A and B are shown apart, each in its own frame.
Chain A
Amino acid sequence: MKHFIKAGLSAAILIGGSAIASAQTQITWWDFLEGGDGVRMKALIKEFNETHPDINISSTTLEWGVPFYTKVQTATAVGQQPDIMTYHLSRFPLAVPQGQLRPISDDELAEAGLSPDDYFPSSFNAAKVGDQLYGLPFDIHSIVLYYNKDALDKAGLLGEDGKPKGLDGLENFNAALAKLEESGVEVPLSLHTDEGGSMWRVFYTLLAQQGAPFIEDGEILPGDAGLKALNAMTNWVASGYSPELISYEASIALFTSGRAAMHINGVWEVPTMKDLAKNGDLGFEWGAIQIPVLMDQKATWADSHAFAIPHSEANPISAEKVKTVLQIIAWMNEHSLSWADAGHIPAFKAVAESDEFKKMEPNATYSALAETAVFDPEISIAGVAGPIYEATQNFIVPALNGQLDPEDALDMVRDELQGLELN
């Protein structure tokens, strides 16, 4: 009998114990962060879980771009969505009309201890559609020009301050590429020439540097600014400065192996360079600067990783969970200094204005780009994995690789998107 009671007791304890364990709030988290970003985000999640015993985030990293957003779309449709996900701000105009994002009320925001003043207005406002907030920005990220100091020095393109000189203006830039080639560099400028996302960033930067919009009064790519931008890119490939159809990994490898003198890519590859340099695997000194003014004015494409709560008609998230999710978002923002280490510019003012961030290199060198950053147009065809990206992949990429005539390619972009925009 005693044994029986004992057994019963221990069973009760076991059950009680598991009840306590299940009182922990389970949060499902989806992101698309791979590479250096992924490592840092995993570390942040781990730290959060360790410091918050009552909350457990279980995270899944799905493939970036179309696969991720397709899965989100399907999951919200059937009510199997995660509680929190990373989302590109550029996609908000596409996602909100489809009802994929759950609005966040002022009260909920305040309860999490956050206020609009905590963020830079440009990115905070981009997280709104109308007056309604649909997510919170985490960073501002852009593209920069990575350069090999040794190679630039040899070609006489390095200034006293260790930064490139004579790159402003398209003609000068092209002349610099020619100089680099003469000085024996195999690849003057490494670009990720085989994919629409990467090429959209460069194309849009060159467009914005002409002060030209992508869409105006319902007209896609008005005027010849688009052609000018595309011709500049096409010329790099045609002149042999940039190899054609290079995959993402290879475009980086060309630079890190010293075969390419310059490389245009997102700030998120900063950790790759940092880590290689730290381990002595880089073989040269590297730097990163804001994209030079190749056209008429300073401007760089930019986007934001934001946090959002997926909305599902079938299975809406509970108010309780929203509270927890916002608590997580607030914590992530407060701890975004380690995220800045991945090259990004934090969207959270307190971190972006901290001394630690201001001292962080190379972020400090290029963080001024935020002042002239140009976000994707706020229309429903824009955004990562949206129709504009797709059109870039389908027409602009082939054009700059010499598979399509640039002018025809832009007409095709117009044809493809014009109809969609009207819908």
Chain B
Amino acid sequence: MRLKSRNRTVTALLLIAPFVICYLVVFAYPVYKMFAMSFTNAPLIGEGEWIGLDNYIRMFEHKLFYTSVYNTLYFVLLTVVPNTLIGLGIAMMVVRLKGWIQAGILVLFFMPYILPVTVVTQIWQWVLDQQFGVAQPLIEAIIGRRISVFRDPVWAMPMVALVTIWWTNGFNVLLFISALRNIPDDYYEAASLDGASRLQQFRRITWPLLWPVTALVLTLQLILQLKIFDQIYLMTQGGPFNSTYVLLQLVYREAFGRNQGGYASAVAVALFVIIVAVSVLQYQLLKARGK
């Protein structure tokens, strides 16, 4: 019997070994290394000397760091809730359709999600081109003039957010559709027999039953959008005058552009801490709300 249980342990270890080894090497070690580097003045490649908290002190004196934190949060604000609501709205429209019409329309809404980010940004830069963009006549009609959207400090971040929503929304739509399908039809039938209006049905039935998925979507979005880099790097490069500079971009610039591995790691630690803190906080909030 003891032999058998030892055998079983060995089998289990064999099964988990590949994952655990990879995990330790490319995940756990880099986490450790990130913290370790943040206390040194190391360049990107090569050893540095221990300098204690100097990088953190420098970070908290670095104006661009605060700008980046602010912009990252601003971007999160602009994307998370709108993206969730738009996803829900589209899902509620699509779920009422049937058969191939539904499938076809879903394809149109979902297609952007499977595109590489570079394709998405290329397309939108062309659509919004200040001189030849197809969207400019529309902007001119509403605002009264053409706008170089990614070069305007007021417009840049909301436009990056818009592009992001367009790109990632399909995923949320699908999650909501599957949740909506899980709500039994008889709930609605019973409600309409009771004379409940569509709005009442939504508030009393759909919304409460949808809450777990909404919470999931919000959580996923929040964590995803805090890690914003690609769209910014490809469309605004952080400009104009740093009005779209974000945290991950600061990590990138310090490490790869300025060869400051240690300082970049300190900023990465800050990003790391913010995301972990937000995740924990949100998890607690949603749990409370869910009850």
Contacts and interface: CB of A to CB of B under 8 A. Distances in A.
Q: Say if the two chains contact directly (CB < 8 Å).
A: yes
Interface of A: 66, 69-70, 73-74, 77-78, 98, 194, 245-247, 249-250, 253, 313-314, 393-395, 397-398, 403-404
B96 to A, nearest CB: 43
Contact of B241 (A73, A245, A403): A403
A68 to B, nearest CB: 11
B131 A247 contact: yes
Contact of B45 (A250, A314, A393): A314
Interface of B: 43-46, 129-131, 148, 151-153, 237, 239-242, 256-259
Nearest to A79: B45
- Per DSSP, chain A at the interface is helix
25 contacts: A66-B257, A69-B257, A73-B44, A73-B256, A73-B259, A74-B44, A74-B256, A77-B44, A78-B45, A245-B130, A245-B148, A245-B152, A246-B148, A247-B129, A249-B131, A250-B131, A393-B240, A394-B239, A394-B241, A394-B242, A397-B240, A397-B241, A398-B153, A398-B240, A403-B241
A10 B153 CA distance: 68
A70 B238 CA distance: 15
Nearest to B147: A245
Contacts of B259: 73, 77, 98
A70 B256 contact: yes
Q: Which of B43, B148, B256, B258 is most buried by chain A, counting CB atoms within 10 A of its CB?
A: B148
Contact of B151 (A70, A74, A247): A247
B239 A393 contact: yes
Nearest to B240: A398
Nearest to A100: B259
Given A77-B45, A77-B259, A78-B45, A66 B237 contact: yes
B257 A73 contact: yes
B37 to A, nearest CB: 14
Contacts of B152: 245
Contacts of B256: 70, 73-74
Contacts of B257: 66, 69-70, 73
A253 B131 contact: yes
Q: What 9 pairs across the A-B complex have the smallest Cβ distances? A: A245-B148, A77-B45, A394-B241, A250-B131, A194-B151, A70-B257, A398-B241, A245-B151, A77-B44
Contacts of A245: 130, 148, 151-152
Contacts of A398: 153, 240-241
A403 B151 contact: no
Contacts of B237: 66
Contacts of A70: 256-257
Contacts of B151: 194, 245, 247
B130 A246 contact: yes
A294 B130 CA distance: 30
Nearest to A247: B130
B43 A77 contact: yes
Contacts of B44: 73-74, 77
A389 to B, nearest CB: 12
Nearest to A65: B237
Given A394-B241, A398-B153, A403-B241, 9 more contacts: A66-B257, A74-B256, A77-B45, A77-B259, A194-B151, A245-B151, A247-B151, A249-B131, A394-B242
Contacts of A395: 241
A249 B125 CA distance: 13
A82 to B, nearest CB: 17
A250 B125 CA distance: 14
A250 B131 CA distance: 7
Given A73-B256, A398-B153, A250 B240 contact: no
